Structure 1
Amino acid sequence: MNLFLLRAKGKSASFMLLLFVLISCNNSPKKNEPQAETATVEVNKEPFFKISLAQWSLHEPIMEGSLDPVDFAEKARELGFEGIEYVSQLYTSKYKDAEDPQAAFNALIDTLKQKSEEYNVRNVLIMVDNEGDLASPDASAREEAIENHKKWVDAAQKLGCHSIRVNLFGSEDRDIWRNSSVAGLKGISEYAAGKNINVLVENHGYLSSDAKLLVEVMEEVNMENCGTLPDFGNFCLRRENGELWDAPCVKEYPKYEGVAEMMPYAKAVSAKTFAFNEEGEETTIDYGRMMNIVKDAGYNSYIGIEYEGTGLPPEEGILATRELLIKKGTNLNQEIQ
């Protein structure tokens, strides 16, 4: 009896072992069977773009005389920036009244290049002002403006910038403005193409801030080196008493719509800020929404900081803007792979 039970138990154990092996084999992955991948979360802790400093953020100390514009590269590096955007009008006094203005201008550009190399900053672009109206309905005035802008194209090439930024003011008549803008942009863009420099139009007041109309100009110019520079805060179409600056805005183009319309042609972006709350958020612009528009357009190049507020000193406003940009850009750059 005990021998029988022992044999029965042995057979039962063998059967159970065989059954376990069969189940294990059936549940094992086949040799060539594709396996389900486990999703992993990869968090990119860097923003999706590069950050530059627009010189206009420092126009107050420059105009007051406490900061020499020639020392812009040094100041930008001191603040932790790797890219800089020059403003032409801040250098006018350096060459305009010289005995030989052209020689003084050339020497100035040589000095700026030397400074940028010394402090290891990238020269991104030059914002050109007060060189005549490229959108003037008067053909001779427009041609003069084109000639005046050429020296800044040459300067951009010498400095290693990728672009100059120009303004289009001109007529208040939409058709006249469109035709004049196309003519002026083609004239300077054709010259700039030979220097491998882009010509960018910023929404900078009046009809240039009508993004839909500006896009029509871009489409008609239809040149690879002619594009836009969307500014988050420059969408005023008309100010009180017809003033161009320093007057309350009475008619504004919708800014989020405007930036979205301009982004397909953008080769630079300007991050304008005016005021911040205690959480570090810009109080006049929804930066989360704005940066999402920029990212959705596939843009990943330089975004220039342009602080124009009065609540913080210039350097503090610049740093607050950078912190905000990094926060929003990093949040948008988190990907599931």
Structure 2
Amino acid sequence: MARYLILLLFLSSCAATEPPGTNAPAATGGPKYSLGQWSFHAALFAGEMDNYDFVRTAGEMGFAGVELVNQFFLDQSGNTAFLDSLAATADAAGVELTMLLVDRAGNLGASDPAERDSAIAQHLAWVRAADHLDIPAVRVNAHGDGTPDAIMEASVDGIGRLAEAAGAYGIRILVENHGGISNDGEWLAALLGRLGEYTVGAVADFDNWCIERDNGQLWGGTCTRRYDRYQGLLELMPYAGGVSVKAFNFDERGRETSMDYDVLFDIIRGAGYEGFLGIEYEGESLPPRLGIERTLALAENSWPRQPVVDQNVVSRIDTTLRGFVNRGDVAGISALVYEKGEEVYFGAFGDADREAGTSMQRNTIVQIYSMTKPITGVALMQLYERGKFKLDDPLGDHLPEFAGAVVYRGTNNGSMQTVKPHRPVTIRDITRHTAGFYNGGDTPGLQQAYESANVRDYENTLTEMGEKLGSLPLLFQPGTRWHYGLSVDVQALLVERLSGQPFDEYVREHVLDPLGMDDTRYFVPIGDRSRMSAAYNRSDEGVLTQRPNDDAHEFNVNRWPLTPGGFGLTSTLDDYMTFARMLVSDGSLNGATILQPRTVDLMRTNHLSNEITERLWLPSKGQVGFGIDFAVRLRPAETPEENPGTVGEFFWDGAASTLFWVDPANELTAVLFVQLFPYDQIGLHHDFRRAVYGPFGK
């Protein structure tokens, strides 16, 4: 076995580039708590407590497990007598040894290959110690030297080879946000994604988010650049094999003064994490044992959740929606909310069609516009599951009409000037709106070219649309901006090309029919048109004008060659709620499996790098990033005026001011239907969300 491990260390390498791994298997039935040994670091370093005392203390305090730190027995990795005694102490105390945290064993991300090899060998000694102790996971650090990219490449090699060797012992390697660039959640998540083939996971720490300090070191000094803790935890949880629930100081109500445990636990719950939660007190104002007890109490109080929608919330939603109608802001509006698989709210107010005298009903058909996009994304990701493409494949590999894309640079004497792209447009780009497709605006030359091409002419087939779009320059270099537009129509073409089936037929057969979404369609037959809501324009003065139905419904009462992925479907509250409930249920509903849970997780993961700072109007949605055809809420609202929501929720809306969201933390889904132009100028979405979740800062 030793010879086999040595061979692995020096010959193996890793090159995984695909999606996040899943959480480590864990028992169900609510959180299990382990005690982090670092909580008693002062006493341990001072000799006032030894390793056996710590394990016994954890058992006395009622912890189910303990997380050992090798710094407190640095010279004992090969001492089997010591290890046996430690294991026996744990057995006697009734606690499980859940994790071994390894420090001071060399840098696995060192630029020097010899230094990296040495670090792997040192870490492997601790892997063998963990195996002797029957510990299932070893936590390591992604520390190194050089630029973040250099540390990344070296860590992929060092941690990857260690993880492969540890796998022979059945031990999982976990990387913590634990100093320097590893405290950048986006960077660490990218590293873990590349290490996916080795099932390397994360220890997601509540507090280690300082990326740079004024002393230039990993520790000490004043923090000069800090990563957002909520976004960081959200990014690490898809990989989490451990969570460090850390606290420093408490207010008079027992809450941590520097972090919102409710938000942090929303993120943990929303990720479906079921492993141990490691309690760690690092404050100095309380004796360690008391600090640990208060941290545990706060965690235990933060885990349970009362229902979001009670009778008071129902009344608040009613008042909010009725108010929009009574003020004349909308003609009609309806909403449906499910929580934990049960309907908890339905309301419909006002008129679907004032001229016809038709009231807003539960089965009213509305035009959902861009809420078509998530349905298209689900169809596309079914083909991803079948191995038809990878997200970072060049788009031109599958749609040759886009292989020769060039980038707009400006005009010279009225002629457009272009340059070659720095890299090809990828499929990931068309799922997150970073492809570079122009979508309106005053851009000399390019604007006129797009208008002449008439890319979205209803008479175009998807193939004709793709040919026209592929012949036009991109507005910007792929991957450099978030710019909403035609990307999801290209997704529809890709579904058609990869499946060999017309897009509308594919969606009907593989998404809509299995879910029973009979009212979600492009063409509305004559017999159902009396259920269609009219559309209304609201002037700056607040006057509503009903658009002629013939014009408003033109796309949906005629059969057109174009079946766009980005708009065009109609739906009802119950139909779209079925789609949302499938997503909150990890891809399956009522016996129909539409996607695998891992694929839903991938879609609701933020794919928009922090380096992409030009984001058009996306910031108006709140503290969000963007996944695969969904906005993803990364941070809580900072002001009462922002659109609120639960961190980890994913959502989208439509041009006629419709909205839906999926809140995994609370197992809640909501759909709001209205037909109002221009898009939500009156705070519909903000006020509906506030009605559901309550006042800011409650």
- 5 Å matches for 1:84-233? 84-92=66-74, 95=76, 102=78, 105-233=79-207
2 CA distance for matches of 1:196 and 1:120?
23
Q: Distance in 2 between matches of 1:225 and 1:192?
A: 11
Secondary structure of 1:330 counterpart: coil
1:35 alignment counterpart: none
Counterpart secondary structure, 1:213 = helix
Structure 1: how far apart are the matches of 2:52 and 2:109?
30
> Are 1:53 and 2:27 matched, yes or no?
no
Between stretches 263-272 and 148-157, larger displacement belongs to: 148-157
Provide structure 2 residue ranges, at least 5 long, that are not aligned to the other structure.
1-27, 309-338, 343-698
**Residue in 2 aligned with 1:263?**
237
Q: Deviations over 1:93-142 (max 9, x none)?
A: x54xxxxx83xx22221111111111111110000000000010110000
The 1:160/1:296 distance shift into structure 2, 3 A limit, reads same
Q: Contact 1:137/1:180 (CA < 8 Å) preserved in 2?
A: yes
Kept in 2: contact 1:88–1:129 (CA 8 A): yes
1:35-74 equivalence runs, <5 A: 48-74=30-56
In the TM superposition, residue 269 of structure 1 has moved relative to its aligned partner by 0.5
Matched, 1:324 2:306: no
Higher relative contact order (Cα pairs below 8 Å, separated by 6+ residues): 1
- Letter in structure 2 aligned against 1:53: L
Partner Cα distance (1:69, 1:147) in 2: 24
Distance in structure 1 (CA, Å) of the matches to 2:284 and 2:204? 22
- Choose from 59, 65, 69 the match for 1:77: 59
User: How far apart, CA to CA, are the structure 2 residues paired with 1:112 and 1:333?
Assistant: 44
The change in CA–CA distance for 1:332 and 1:150 in structure 2 (over 3 A counts) is farther
Alpha carbons of 1:58 and 1:175: their partners in 2 closer, same or farther (altered >3 Å)?
same
Q: CA deviation at 1:249?
A: 1.0
In 1: Cα distance, 2:259 partner to 2:171 partner: 31
Confirm or deny: 8 A CA contact 2:87 2:133 kept in the other structure.
yes
AA partner of residue 56 (structure 1): W
**1:226 counterpart letter in structure 2:** V
3-state DSSP class of the match of 1:84? strand
Task: Verify the 8 A CA contact 2:177 2:208 in the aligned structure 1.
Answer: yes
**Amino acid across the alignment from 1:63:** F
- Report the Cα offset of residue 213 of structure 1: 1.2
Q: Which amino acid aligns with 1:331?
A: R
Question: Within the alignment, does 1:303 sit opposite 2:277 as a pair?
Answer: yes
Supply the AA of the counterpart residue of 1:295: R
Q: How does 1:224-243 map to 2 (within 5 A)?
A: 224-243=198-217
Contact kept, 8 Å, 1:47 with 1:332, in 2: the verdict is no
Q: CA deviation at 1:267?
A: 0.7
SS across alignment from 2:58: helix
- Contact kept? 1:280, 1:320, Cα under 8 Å: yes
Distance 1:332 1:65 in 2: 44
Which runs of structure 2 are paired with 1:6-21 in the superposition (5 Å)?
A: none
Q: Alignment length, in residue pairs?
A: 284
Deviations 1:230-274 (A, max 9, x none): 100001001122122122211101110000001101111001111
- Determine the structure 1 residue equivalent to 2:469: none
Q: Flag the 1:333–1:139 CA change in 2: closer, same or farther, 3 A.
A: farther
Structure 2 counterpart of 1:321, one-letter code: T
Structure 1 residue 75, shift from structure 2 partner: 1.0
Letter in 1 for 2:161: G
Q: Does residue 1:312 correspond to 2:286, yes or no? A: yes
- AA at the equivalent of 1:285: M
Distance in 2 of aligned mates of 1:237 and 1:191: 30
Match of 1:292 among 256, 261, 266: 266
Which residue pairs with 1:276 in the alignment? 250
What is the aligned partner in structure 2 of residue 3 from structure 1? none
Which of the pair is proportionally richer in helix? 1
Confirm or deny: 8 A CA contact 1:83 1:122 kept in the other structure.
yes
Tell whether the 8 Å contact from 2:206 to 2:245 is kept in structure 1 after alignment.
yes
RMSD of Structure 2 on Structure 1 (CA): 1.8
Distance 1:120 1:142, change over 3 A: same
**2:192 alignment partner AA:** M
Query: Residue in 1 aligned with 2:591?
Result: none
Contact 1:133 1:170 in 2 (8 A): yes
Provide the C-alpha distance between the structure 1 equivalents of 2:151 and 2:122, rounded to a whole number of angstroms.
Answer: 20
Equivalent residue for 1:8?
Answer: none
- Relative distance call for 1:332 and 1:106 in structure 2 (3 A) is farther
**Residue identity matched to 1:189:** A
In structure 1, list runs of 5 or more residues that go unmatched.
1-45, 96-100
Sort the Cα spacing of 1:47 and 1:280 in 2 relative to 1 into closer, same or farther, 3 A.
farther
Indicate if the aligned counterparts of 2:105 and 2:122 stay in contact, CA closer than 8 A: yes
Counterpart residue identity of residue 170, structure 2: N
Distance 1:194 1:207 in 2: 29
Q: Deviations over 1:191-232 (max 9, x none)?
A: 111011110000011111111111111121222431111100
* Aligned partner of residue 154 in structure 2, secondary structure: helix
Give distance in 2, aligned partners of 1:244 and 1:175: 17
Normalising by structure 1, we get a TM-score of 0.81
Contact conserved, 2:164 with 2:198, CA < 8 A, in 1? Answer: no
Residues 139-183 of structure 1, C-alpha deviations (whole Å, 9 max, x = no match): 000010000011211122222222000011112402101100100
Q: CA, structure 1 residues 48+283, in 2 after alignment: closer, same or farther (shift >3 Å)?
A: same
Paired residues of 2:111 and 2:146 also in contact (CA < 8 A): no
Deviates more, 1:221-230 or 1:249-258: 221-230
C-alpha distance in 2 between matches for 1:225 and 1:71: 33
Alignment partners' CA distance in 2, 1:225 and 1:106:
28
**Given the superposition, is the C-alpha separation of residues 232 and 332 from structure 1 closer, same or farther in structure 2, using an over 3 Å criterion?**
farther
Counterpart CA distance in 2 for 1:213 and 1:319 is 33
| Residue aligning to 2:221 | 247
| 1:228 partner SS | strand
Counterpart of 1:209 in structure 2: which amino acid?
N
Which residue type is aligned with residue 62 of structure 1? L
SS in 2 for 1:214: helix
- Contact 1:47–1:330 (Cα < 8 Å) also in 2: no
Which residue type is aligned with residue 248 of structure 1? T
Deviates more, 1:68-77 or 1:185-194: 68-77
Take 1:47 and 1:289, find their aligned partners in 2: how far apart are those partners? 21
Which structure 1 residue ranges, 4+ long, deviate > 6 Å from structure 2?
332-335
Structure number, greater radius of gyration: 1
The letter for the 1-side match of 2:274 is N
Look up the SS of the partner of 2:241 in the other structure.
Answer: coil
Specify the code of the residue in structure 1 equivalent to 2:85: T
Taking a change above 3 Å as real, the CA distance of residues 292 and 126 of structure 1, as seen in their structure-2 partners, is same
| 1:36 counterpart residue number | none
Give the secondary structure class of the aligned counterpart of 1:134.
Answer: coil
